[in-house]
Amino acid sequence: MTSTALIAADLLALPLPDREQGLASLPGGELGVWEAGPGVETDTEVDEVFVVLTGRATVEVEGGPTLTVEPGSVVRLHAGDRTTWTVTEPLRKLYVALDEPVGGLPGERLLAADVRSLELTGDSEPGSWVEGGWPTARTQHLGDLAGVRLSAWEVTAGVVADLEQDEYLLVLSGAAVVRIEGGPAVELSPHALLRLGEGDRTEWTVTEDVRAFLVSLG
């Protein structure tokens, strides 16, 4: 049975009655969505990487930098960071957070100012079999969090079949229909979150070049 499934058609439309919603359990952590309205609040962070879906803010790290975040920003926070969030436009983010700190010295915090326009320098096979058009694919590694690999990925218009890895895919831009062997056809548009299952066979019909943020497991 396929494990590929659409978790949310549009994360911006997902109700968050308590400002936060866990979406999936990860090895040693959680994938979820969090939001904050305009205003100032302080927090003590866990080990986390997040990508901003909408809104703008500055995040002042005590003893560290002050980050300006906006749609497409990818940020690494470290366990114990004391932060002050000044939210100027209602903000919603997708996060990968760990249950226990991983330790080590803080490294780069702003992994991408805007992952939607980031130059992707790594070659990526567009799929196992190109069925139509001339799709090409590129990727860019952004960072790792306790065995979870975070990257940007892009595939151009065309039709391609693939054998999937175990990962979550957040659509940043573009449009496609993913047909899953033994499962449904899934329409993808910006802010859709798709769970891809290890070994699942899929066919992608990409009508507009797709740029995505990937959370890969294992």
Q: Look up the CATH number of domain 118-216.
A: 2.60.120.10
Max intra-chain CA distance, the chain: 53
Identical topology for domains 13-112 and 118-216: yes
Q: Is the pTM of this model over 0.85?
A: yes
Determine the pLDDT at residue 146.
Answer: 87
| Of the candidates 130, 153, 167, the residue with the CA atom closest to the CA atom of residue 210 | 153
Determine the pLDDT at residue 47.
Answer: 95
Determine the pLDDT at residue 147.
Answer: 85
Tokens 């943020």 label which residue? 213
pLDDT in tens, the chain (218 residues): 456 789 999 999 999 999 999 999 998 999 999 999 999 999 999 999 999 999 999 999 999 999 999 999 999 999 999 999 999 999 999 999 999 887 655 678 999 999 999 999 988 776 666 777 778 899 999 999 988 999 999 999 999 998 899 999 999 999 999 999 888 899 999 999 999 999 999 999 999 999 999 999 97
User: Please, what sign has the CA dihedral across residues 86, 190, 4, 21?
Assistant: positive
**Rounded distance, CA 107 to CA 127, Å?**
33
Q: Look up the CATH number of domain 13-112.
A: 2.60.120.10
Instruction: Spell out the domain ranges in the chain.
Output: 13-112, 118-216
Determine the pLDDT at residue 86.
Answer: 98
Residue 57 pairs in a beta bridge with 69, 87
Determine the pLDDT at residue 182.
Answer: 84
3-state SS, the chain, equals CCCCEEEECCHHHCCCCCCEEEEEEECCEEEEEEEECCEEEEEECCCEEEEEEEEEEEEEECCCCEEEECCCCEEEECCCCEEEEEEEEEEEEEEEEECCCCCCCCCCCEEECCCCCCCCCEEECCCCEEEEECCCEEEEEEEEECCEEEEEEEECCEEEEEECCCEEEEEEEEEEEEEECCCCEEEECCCCEEEECCCCEEEEEEEEEEEEEEEECC
Determine the pLDDT at residue 105.
Answer: 55
**Rounded distance, CA 182 to CA 135, Å?**
24
Determine the pLDDT at residue 195.
Answer: 95
